[in-house]
Structure 1
């Protein structure tokens, strides 16, 4: 799998996560609208299963970075 795809998925997940947290989080609570999972799911559905761990790890790191 090309690293450009991994990087693009991670960046899109980071942007979606940060946007969801900025627009839907109330007083330290959880964001009630999480569009970032759609980015990950769309990417997972288009690659073989053997590449899933890389995408999940990159999106996990992107989500952690967005959370602060």
Structure 2
């Protein structure tokens, strides 16, 4: 699971903007945001860099489950 949706909301950024920055389709980005698909680690790193946050802020720990 990821926290991309929450990070975008916190920053006031639309997923269409992020999709353009990553050169990904809206459908791919929507899959990430809705947790239907999980991005590769390098994509998570790119998202964190673009949003100027720590990559750890995009990851939900499964340790507590």
TM-score norm. by structure 1 comes to 0.30
More helix by share: 1
Answer with 1 or 2: which has the greater Rg: 1
TM-score by length of 2: 0.30
